[in-house]
Structure 1
Amino acid sequence: MDSETHMPDPVCLIENTNGKLVANPEALKILSAITQPLVVVAIVGLYRTGKSYLMNKLAGKSKGFSLGSTVQSHTKGIWIWCVPHPEKPNHTLVLLDTEGLGDIEKGDNQNDSWIFALAVLLSSTFVYNSMGTINQIAMDQLHYVTELTERIRAKSSLDNGGVEDSADFVSFFPAFVWTLRDFSLELEVNGEPITPDEYLELSLKLKKGTDKKTKSFNEPRLCIRKFFPKKKCFVFDRPARRKYLVCLEQLEEEDLDPDFREQVAEFCSYIFKYSEAKTLTGGIIVTGPRLENLVLTYVNAISSGDLPCMENAVLALAEIENSAAVKKAIAHYDQEMAQKVQLPTETLQELLDLHRATEKEAIEVFMNNSFKDVDQKFQKELAECLLAKRDDFCKQNVKASSDCCIALLQNIFHPLDKDVKEGTFSKPGGYHLFIQEQQRLKNEYYKVPRKGTEAEETLRKYLESKEAVADAILRTDQSLTEKEKEIEVERIKAESAEAAQNLLKEMQIKTQQMMEEKEKSYQEHLKQLTDKIEEERAQLKAEHERVLNLKLQENERLLKEGLQEQSRKIQKEIQEMERRRKQEAPGCIIL
């Protein structure tokens, strides 16, 4: 699906049936085929506020997501539409349209809170769509944002007195875009024009005080300021006269208000240009299969009564992908070795060199496809598997060489065996003729190339098996004196002892080669792991600095607004971030 993501219509991603959320297999299958990075834009807001219209525009269509034309909420659950990204090559734009919040037919806002939370968790840009201005009513309707910390856990275990730092959420949370529909105010302050972004910033200003009313006023504003790293605001005029709104998707572009058309175009342009690919902590880019697994992990957690945990979701994803990375690395090794290796190899070192070069490639494949391999569990699995495959190749090499040499010896020495049976050497001087012929055939055997590592050992065993024949010929040769026969027996013993000694030396050399190969393998694993840890450290450092800068900017704003108490809390969070950064920095290698 990557070359051209073809999805003619949206499909339901997460079904909402009687308050129960279930992932739709059809949508998951579509996601599983998209290996490109995903730019995920989710839209949330009260029902009947025109969310689906904006999403259709982002898809470049006038129809797709159901618009509806009555006070009834049309979209149930979360719907997905994957389209080629119009401005980012090799990226897929994923649009998530959610069921309207506050639908009176549901009679329970628990479901709304989960829809809101899932939209935040799955998106890289989160669009909150509302009608009119940003007033206290609009903020009250955005109470879902204040419930996020009750619905989502950033970490599986807490070391901060059981309280999660907003920094934990910032590293996961998407950019925030507030779209205000049917906006009728003049954007100005004290007679001076302001931008929609400045209007949003003014609307998010906090009040001083600790009373219940002030706390209620500040809470949603504070959550938006603390949790969402980027904020943007768009205002839209009414798209057309009221009587035409019921058939909005049938209207031609020229029938829409020109200002509204321009505002929609500006919104789409911003989303296309500035919405980034969905990433997880450590700069891990989300692809279709990764989003598929995130959906399943979060929905299963909600269904089982647990809180979706972002850290657990990433670790669960890492388990799946690291296991697949091991298989991919092994498949690469198998394929390359099948092409490179022709058994038997002339020497053991030749085979080990081929193994080491291919092993290096396999480790690279694993490193490129794995992340968050806690305690190098999967890399150890890969190392053990590659070691077993190396040993298996060595065994195959021995057998291939042995089989080859046995067949060769039988073929070369067949005439000699025939002559022995026919009694050719049963005469005076026959022993020397036998030895001469045997030596000639040995020389013929030596000339044959690529017999492999067992050439000498197989020859030694073969000649050893023929010693009784040679001994019988020697003893019946009447031309030799007893002394000469004794000397010949001693010569044969000496040759046999020398061959055994040479075999021992050869085995020691092979053992040394295998030990050196093991050390080289370990060093290769260590080098590539160290490089990956350095890369992860740099990513975490950049992520930490990004969140820290956001905290410092927020602290500066709080000080300007005279909110000393909130500023002290932010400063405490910054100190906690620094403490945890030192503890959590990657670098533990336990291979």
Structure 2
Amino acid sequence: MDASKGPQGYHQTEGGSVKMPRPICLIENESGSKLQVNQEALNILSSIKQPVVVVAIVGMYRTGKSYLMNRLAGKNTGFSLGSTIQSETKGIWMWCVTHPRRENRTLVLLDTEGLGDVEKGDQTNDTWIFSLAVLLSSTLVYNSMGTINNEALMSLHYVTELTKRIKVKSSQEGEDEASSEFMRHFPSFVWTVRDFSLELELNGRTITADEYLENALKLNANDSKNNAPHLALSDGPRKCIRMFFPVRKCFVFDRPTNKRKLKKMEEVGDDDLEPDFIKQTRDFCSYILSDSKEKSFTGGIIVNGSMLANLVVTYMDAIRGGQMPCLENAVLALSQIENSAAVEKSHALYRQLLGERVVLPTETQEELASVHEGCLKEALQLFMARSFKDNDQQYQKDLMEHIKEEYERKCQENADLSRKHCITLLQQLWQSLDQESYMRPGGYADYRVQVDSIIQQYRDTPGKGIQSGHALESFLKEKSDLERNILMADKSLTEKQRILEAEKALAEVERVKAEVARQEQEAMAQKMEDMERAHRENEQQLLEKIKWERKAMMEENERVLTQRLKEQRALEMEGYKWQLELMEAKLENKMLKQQQDSCVIS
């Protein structure tokens, strides 16, 4: 059910997703101006609280990118298809739809401006658009026409510019280290080849589209290092794709229909398309929707729409400022935003739960402490789930301080309500006593009987809270002058009897005082225990998160090392011996360093 309506018919749903009837421009690329973010699109993206699967498509203009994106959205129309030689899409357009195969996930489709548009005088923005597609997506689709030959690979020269346009770390890293880090952060790579007319055969045997891609990405084998510069130009895109995008997939598409119908693809139904093309499109969509993962960072940090919006702003600020977008800095900036929000949300959750689960005044401090402990645990769980890269636990400390202050306020409110309730109760009970009637011989004994009855009724009344002793002590002190006057007015008592009665009254006050002191000591001990439990809970959840993050990082390291070893074996088979030796040496050093770091952490 729709919870609210945004601009131009965009609907925010209760589940944290958004319904968009059509795409909207996310990053504008007006002729003769710099790239700039569309605030309206940013607002839509910021409203999405679900994890996002981000699929971006890039490629030369007029290659049918928009058609594939519309199909992924489950529509025939949406992203502009166009039917002329002019590039239709400008900048980067966004379409957020409910993921058709994953619950509580939003599919974010990014259709990019066609690369290599001859009408553009400045091609610089092409490289930035390509770089942004890489930075923002979890799956990058490269769309081309014809075949994967040397010309097609040279058209993908943008991939060789990534190391000049993107930094993984704020400190300068070497080429080999940079490629390893890119491998961690970059999306999976899908090459779609349109209007493919060849047979998928190699050396007399039928091959898959994936094998076709891998064969096209083989480097030119050469045993001599001296010839490396000569080969760099043709092998650059191949090497970069292999080193930066370890997860690769390929789809080939037949020509969809005749030329006349191609001009009206938005109006063409499946009945007018070639059956093979329909199947190929379905296979492509099925793979993307099933295998594309959520946008994430190393360490298992899952990105939602709001986080993605902040990434867009961070990267665009860097580009517009003439700087290289830095993944490390972007994640750090994002962590500060998200961790602050995590503190706020977790504090609010604690305050909400504490208000819902406890009725003040509580009979004992332990009762309030027990509720506090459960609320603290849930608030910490929310914080641990939302926060990341809180390396010095500063945000976690802030949360614990907020919760401590909130708990102390609730304890004070509990005490104030208890005291107020107890005073009201004592005043109501005292109303039945006629003070003047006891100013007579024998009046004191009758007065004591009535006061003892009031005290007993007070003690027997439930729900007084933790200030019952304090209130009674204050009440008895307040009535001490009256009691002394009644005692003096009772002429039936001897002086000795008066002294004994006064001592009895004083002893009663002392008993109440002793009870109050005991309650205060127990309350203090309870608060100390509360602090210790909070510390243990905080420490336990922190250790669990550290263990989870360490496990995720080890799995990530294992994945990267496995991919590097796979690439080494491929190089060996291709006869690239000199590069193999270099990579083996660097890989050995990296594995040794990771082992040393692991020992230090342990």
TM norm structure 1: 0.92
**For 2:267 and 2:385, how far apart are their aligned partners in 1?**
48
**For 2:113 and 2:104, how far apart are their aligned partners in 1?**
30
- 1:68-83 aligned at under 5 Å gives the runs 68-83=82-97
Q: Report deviation, 1:14.
A: 1.0
- Which of 127, 136, 142 is the matching residue for 1:113? 127
SS at 1:95's partner residue?
Answer: strand
Q: Is the 8 A contact 1:126 1:175 kept in 2?
A: yes
Q: Is the 8 A contact 2:92 2:111 kept in 1?
A: yes
- Which of 561, 581, 588 is the matching residue for 1:548? 561
Aligned pair in 2 of structure 1 residues 440, 54: CA closer, same or farther (>3 Å)? closer
1:215 aligns with 2:232: yes
Partner of 2:188: 175
- 1:420-431 aligned at under 5 Å gives the runs 420=435, 422=436, 424-431=437-444
Aligned pair in 2 of structure 1 residues 531, 88: CA closer, same or farther (>3 Å)? same
CA deviation digits over 1:437-480, x for unaligned, max 9? 22122112112111111112211111112212222222333222
Q: Is the 8 A contact 2:332 2:389 kept in 1?
A: yes
Q: Report deviation, 1:572.
A: 4.2
**For 2:533 and 2:186, how far apart are their aligned partners in 1?**
43
Query: Which deviates more, 218-227 or 565-574?
Result: 565-574
Q: Report deviation, 1:405.
A: 1.1
Partner of 2:39: 25
Q: Report deviation, 1:586.
A: 12
- Which of 396, 399, 410 is the matching residue for 1:393? 410
Q: Is the 8 A contact 1:152 1:307 kept in 2?
A: yes
Q: Report deviation, 1:261.
A: 3.5
Give, as a single letter, the amino acid of the residue that structure 2 aligns with 1:413: W
Give, as a single letter, the amino acid of the residue that structure 2 aligns with 1:455: S
- Which of 501, 515, 529 is the matching residue for 2:542? 529
Give, as a single letter, the amino acid of the residue that structure 1 aligns with 2:591: E
Query: Which deviates more, 483-492 or 453-462?
Result: 483-492
**For 2:595 and 2:490, how far apart are their aligned partners in 1?**
88
- Which of 292, 295, 312 is the matching residue for 2:312? 295
- 1:104-503 aligned at under 5 Å gives the runs 104-158=118-172, 160=173, 164-207=177-220, 208=222, 209=224, 210-211=226-227, 212-416=229-433, 419-420=434-435, 422=436, 424-503=437-516
- 1:42-53 aligned at under 5 Å gives the runs 42-53=56-67
Q: Report deviation, 1:226.
A: 0.6
Q: Is the 8 A contact 1:19 1:111 kept in 2?
A: no
**For 2:207 and 2:52, how far apart are their aligned partners in 1?**
34
Q: Is the 8 A contact 1:154 1:164 kept in 2?
A: no
- Which of 39, 64, 67 is the matching residue for 2:81? 67
Q: Report deviation, 1:355.
A: 1.2
**For 2:418 and 2:366, how far apart are their aligned partners in 1?**
14
Give, as a single letter, the amino acid of the residue that structure 1 aligns with 2:526: Q
Give, as a single letter, the amino acid of the residue that structure 2 aligns with 1:127: V
**For 1:415 and 1:184, how far apart are their aligned partners in 2?**
104
Q: Is the 8 A contact 1:170 1:547 kept in 2?
A: yes
**For 1:162 and 1:246, how far apart are their aligned partners in 2?**
45
Q: Report deviation, 1:425.
A: 2.2
Partner of 1:102: 116
**For 2:122 and 2:592, how far apart are their aligned partners in 1?**
41
Aligned pair in 2 of structure 1 residues 357, 155: CA closer, same or farther (>3 Å)? same
CA deviation digits over 1:476-498, x for unaligned, max 9? 33222222223333444444444
SS at 2:29's partner residue?
Answer: strand
**For 1:164 and 1:468, how far apart are their aligned partners in 2?**
86
**For 2:565 and 2:265, how far apart are their aligned partners in 1?**
44
Q: Report deviation, 1:89.
A: 4.2
Give, as a single letter, the amino acid of the residue that structure 1 aligns with 2:556: E
**For 1:54 and 1:161, how far apart are their aligned partners in 2?**
37
**For 1:580 and 1:306, how far apart are their aligned partners in 2?**
31
Q: Is the 8 A contact 1:333 1:362 kept in 2?
A: yes
SS at 2:133's partner residue?
Answer: helix
1:13 aligns with 2:40: no
Q: Report deviation, 1:225.
A: 0.5
**For 1:583 and 1:319, how far apart are their aligned partners in 2?**
29
Q: Report deviation, 1:111.
A: 0.6
Query: Which deviates more, 567-576 or 543-552?
Result: 567-576
Q: Report deviation, 1:205.
A: 1.3
Give, as a single letter, the amino acid of the residue that structure 2 aligns with 1:9: R
**For 2:520 and 2:18, how far apart are their aligned partners in 1?**
58
SS at 1:249's partner residue?
Answer: coil
**For 1:286 and 1:586, how far apart are their aligned partners in 2?**
30
Q: Report deviation, 1:76.
A: 0.5
Q: Report deviation, 1:580.
A: 5.5
Aligned pair in 2 of structure 1 residues 113, 431: CA closer, same or farther (>3 Å)? same
Q: Report deviation, 1:544.
A: 1.5
Q: Report deviation, 1:579.
A: 5.1
Query: Which deviates more, 285-294 or 462-471?
Result: 285-294
Q: Report deviation, 1:11.
A: 1.2
SS at 1:247's partner residue?
Answer: coil
Give, as a single letter, the amino acid of the residue that structure 2 aligns with 1:55: M
Q: Is the 8 A contact 2:469 2:515 kept in 1?
A: no
Aligned pair in 2 of structure 1 residues 50, 459: CA closer, same or farther (>3 Å)? same
Q: Report deviation, 1:161.
A: 5.9
Give, as a single letter, the amino acid of the residue that structure 2 aligns with 1:395: Q
**For 1:162 and 1:203, how far apart are their aligned partners in 2?**
23
Query: Which deviates more, 235-244 or 42-51?
Result: 235-244
Q: Is the 8 A contact 1:170 1:227 kept in 2?
A: yes
Q: Report deviation, 1:191.
A: 3.0
**For 1:24 and 1:12, how far apart are their aligned partners in 2?**
7
Q: Report deviation, 1:263.
A: 3.0
Q: Report deviation, 1:223.
A: 0.8
**For 1:243 and 1:446, how far apart are their aligned partners in 2?**
95
Aligned pair in 2 of structure 1 residues 188, 12: CA closer, same or farther (>3 Å)? same
Give, as a single letter, the amino acid of the residue that structure 2 aligns with 1:136: N
Aligned pair in 2 of structure 1 residues 586, 278: CA closer, same or farther (>3 Å)? farther
Root-mean-square deviation (CA), in Å? 2.5
Q: Report deviation, 1:100.
A: 1.0
SS at 1:397's partner residue?
Answer: helix
Partner of 1:570: 583
Q: Is the 8 A contact 1:37 1:287 kept in 2?
A: yes
Query: Which deviates more, 218-227 or 77-86?
Result: 77-86
**For 1:488 and 1:400, how far apart are their aligned partners in 2?**
34
**For 1:100 and 1:227, how far apart are their aligned partners in 2?**
22
**For 2:400 and 2:352, how far apart are their aligned partners in 1?**
17
**For 1:517 and 1:100, how far apart are their aligned partners in 2?**
61
Q: Is the 8 A contact 1:14 1:21 kept in 2?
A: yes
**For 1:268 and 1:161, how far apart are their aligned partners in 2?**
38
